Amino acid sequence: MSRRALTLMVAGFLTLLLAVIGAMLPVPYVALSPGPTENTIGDVDGKPVISISGHQTYPTEGKLSLVTVAYQGGPGNRLDLVTALRGWLDPAVAVVPEETLFPRSTTAKQVEEQNTQEMTDSQETATIAALNALKIPVEKVVVVVQTDKGAPAEGRLKAGDEIAAIDGVATAGLDSVGAAVRRHKPGEQVKFTVKRGDAETDVLVPTVEDKEGKAVVGVRMKADYKVPFKVDISVGQVGGPSAGLMFSLGIYDKLTPGALTGGKNVAGTGTIDPEGKVGAIGGIEQKMVGAKKAGATVFLTPAGNCADAARAVPPGLRLVKVETLRDAIDAMDALRAGKQELPACPA
């Protein structure tokens, strides 16, 4: 073999080797693909997604499915270049920078914990929104989340305490508690009336002066709600806040006679607040593909996602634009009645 031929052969081998190694190298991207769908008025692993006790419920039919996005990649489990390239070529997959899902200041575990908490919060908020839509009274309360280390409230107030009154005046919301404390001079005591378990007790907490010269006790609180009956939601490992709308519809459906869908296969997405406002979400393209694969014919779409959804909607999937829970309920009523004119996402 001539020296020139040998040189070309070695060069070709090295080029191939480098190409193979390069293809196997991890890249800082995440591949988003359609995830599983779950029928909120159905079962998961033999258990109802939504269980209600202490209030009359009604049988229903059809599907009100939440949709999800699955991902590959992330810190400690990065994509290789070949997988990333394959995703870029697949219209049902979005390949995005790793920071989109995993900000540099957070770990994969922290992101997972945040998604779990967001799911829990969305279930609670969805319950309140559904009950508000049904005009079922829900009591607003203020609950202690935690106390600051070394602060006067530490050891006196406890996580889970419901603050019923301050200095004998009934609590009128989260802001009213802070305002009542600040009306004191630093060094004075504040009388908290708290409900702890089944008991109600008065707790005296001294104040200290903060950087602005105002009285504080070092307690962190949140606005919460007391539902008059029990609503349990279970969807396994699904995380994030984007199933809120579909949870609300599932609860509403179970608490009202008849089938909200009229037996249709409906999917949708969107965050929700206690007043029933629907918020935009991420991964709308992948979620529509997942809905279509699961047999959905109608897709409830947050108004904030309409433009992106209309550009990528799968054939045969009808987009219905919703801004509130009431919009979604009205759309279901119209579909059930056979009406064809519904708010649609712009083409």
Q: What is the pTM of this model?
A: 0.82
Which of 33, 65, 122, 242 is flagged as catalytic?
242
Which pLDDT value is given to residue 16?
A: 43
Q: What is the DSSP string of 188-215?
A: -EEEEEEEETTEEEEEEEE-EE-TTS-E
Question: What domains lie within the chain, and their CATH numbers?
Answer: 33-73+113-136+229-336 (3.30.230), 139-226 (2.30.42.10)
Q: Is 306 helix (H, G, I), strand (E, B) or coil?
A: helix
Nearest to 159 by CA among 217, 102, 222: 222
In angstroms, rounded to a whole number, what is the distance separating the alpha carbons of residues 344 and 334?
13
| pLDDT tens readout for residues 14-39 | 444 344 444 445 667 777 889 999 99
- Give the residue from 75, 23, 88, 39 showing the smallest Cα distance to 238: 39
Exposure pattern of 27-40 as b/e (b: 16+ CB <10 Å)? bebbbbbbbbbbbb
List 63, 254, 287, 321, catalytic entry: 287
pLDDT over 90 at 271, yes or no? yes
pLDDT in tens, 166-214: 999 999 888 999 999 999 999 999 999 999 988 999 999 999 999 899 9
342 pLDDT higher than 80: yes
pLDDT band at 56 (very low <50, low <70, confident <90, very high): very high
Q: Is 242 a catalytic residue?
A: yes
Q: Is 287 a catalytic residue?
A: yes
* DSSP string for 293-322: HTT-SEEEEEGGGHHHHHHHPPTT-EEEEE
Q: What average pLDDT is seen over the chain?
A: 87
pLDDT of 302 over the 60 cut? yes
**Under a CB-based contact definition with an 8 Å cutoff, are residues 159 and 145 in contact?**
yes
- CA gap 26, 227 in Å, rounded: 48
Are 103 and 51 within 8 A, CB to CB? no
Cα distances (Å, whole numbers) of residue 130 to 177, 282, 306, 329: 28, 23, 23, 10
Instruction: Confirm if 283 and 69 have CB atoms less than 8 A apart.
Output: yes
Nearest alpha carbon to residue 296 among 70, 93, 65: 65
CB 65 within 8 A of CB 298: no
Percent of all residues in the chain with a pLDDT value above 70, rounded to a whole number: 90
* pLDDT value for 266: 97
